[in-house]
Amino acid sequence: MNKYLIAIVGPTAIGKTALSIKIAQQYNTEILSADSRQFFKEMYIGTAVPEPDEIAAAPHHFIQHLSVDDPYSVGQFEKDAISKIKQLHLQHDKLVMVGGSGMYVDAVINGLDDFPKVKPGIRDQLQELFKSEGVVALQNLLFEKDPEYYRIVDISNAQRIIRALEVCLSSGNSFSSYRNKPRTQRDFQTIKLGLSADREVIYERINKRVDIMIANGLVEEVRSLLSRKHNNALITVGYREIFEYFEGKVTLERAIENIKTNTRRFAKRQLTWYRRDESIKWFDYKTPLSEIISFLNTKTHR
């Protein structure tokens, strides 16, 4: 196979977007986003969507192409992304995929795992638990039923936890036991690049990014979405905390600190997710582009 997908992964705020654009420009190719939060056009500031000049620097796909009112699943993304990759590979030997959503990246590269059907009523029970006792109750139940998945999932994402618990409660087995099936064969080769830094650097970059989001109008963006705060897309870090501020549960200062804390926790879980994948070639976030391109050229026999 002489078609390649260059997948760039790593924790949030590490510089994946900037690297993806440089690599796309180097190979005169296009970028697919696998960041599930950047799919939604109403979520611009709080998801760190690439800036207009970044979008203009290289063709992007799966950026703000949906509404938060549109139902969208990782399964649908897999189908859409594979279709787009086949189309783009007709013009390009190499494509770039970038994003912090590990499950979405895995779906494109390896295919989805085959989970059992959910028994009737279980989803409603879990949704009711979430409404009555909050996300902490779901987190505790997941820790009891599947501590392995608990360690890597974004525990602030209630819908993702509910999905795992549906499988646990329907089958009597852990969600993790159904993951990591034999990979689906694709008609392209994947090269995985990971960006990393010391934890203190990652946390500092996260804190700075949150401050920039607030300065750019995140509070007003969330205010405009208050009527849709229960939509799955909006039950996520950066939005949930500001909703709590509007509900009078916390001060704005506390909400901002909670965003930073929860984003740092999310980054830690991203690293846990990716560190299990020995096929990722890791680079420090300050690595010169020339070194990364040299590695890619070797892998693609350019």
Q: Tell me, what CATH number does 136's domain have?
A: 1.10.20.140
Q: What pLDDT score does 118 carry? A: 85
pLDDT range class, residue 150, cuts 50, 70, 90: very high
Regarding whether 138 and 39 lie in a shared domain, the answer is no
Q: What pLDDT score does 134 carry? A: 87
Q: Are 186 and 276 in contact (CB under 8 A)?
A: no
What total number of domains does the chain contain?
Answer: 2
Q: Which residue has the higher pLDDT, 114 or 146?
A: 146
Q: Does pLDDT of 182 surpass 80?
A: no
Regarding whether 92 and 52 lie in a shared domain, the answer is yes
pLDDT range class, residue 244, cuts 50, 70, 90: very high
pLDDT digits (tens, 9 = 90+) for 183-222: 788 999 999 999 999 999 999 999 999 999 999 999 999 9
Regarding whether 187 and 68 lie in a shared domain, the answer is yes
What six digits make up the tokens of 16? 């994946």
pLDDT range class, residue 85, cuts 50, 70, 90: very high
Regarding whether 130 and 34 lie in a shared domain, the answer is no
Q: What pLDDT score does 266 carry? A: 92
Domain boundary among the residues 154, 178, 202 is at 178
Regarding whether 57 and 93 lie in a shared domain, the answer is yes
Q: Are 61 and 252 in contact (CB under 8 A)?
A: no
Q: Residue 108's domain is classified under what CATH number?
A: 3.40.50.300
Regarding whether 30 and 88 lie in a shared domain, the answer is yes
Q: What pLDDT score does 98 carry? A: 97
Regarding whether 173 and 200 lie in a shared domain, the answer is no
Regarding whether 250 and 154 lie in a shared domain, the answer is no
Does the predicted TM-score (pTM) go above 0.95? no
Q: What pLDDT score does 189 carry? A: 96
pLDDT digits (tens, 9 = 90+) for 107-130: 999 998 777 888 889 988 998 999
Regarding whether 99 and 159 lie in a shared domain, the answer is no
Q: Does pLDDT of 79 surpass 90?
A: yes
Regarding whether 233 and 202 lie in a shared domain, the answer is yes
Regarding whether 158 and 57 lie in a shared domain, the answer is no
CA distance 44 to 50: 9
Q: Which residue range(s) make up the domain with 195?
A: 4-113+180-300
Q: What pLDDT score does 139 carry? A: 93
Regarding whether 155 and 198 lie in a shared domain, the answer is no
Q: Does pLDDT of 302 surpass 70?
A: no
Q: What pLDDT score does 113 carry? A: 73
pLDDT range class, residue 181, cuts 50, 70, 90: low
CA distance 102 to 11: 10
Domain boundary among the residues 178, 195, 224 is at 178
Domain boundary among the residues 178, 195, 223 is at 178
Report which of 214, 207, 215, 213 is spatially closest to residue 263, judged by C-alpha positions: 207
Mean pLDDT of the 39-63 span = 96
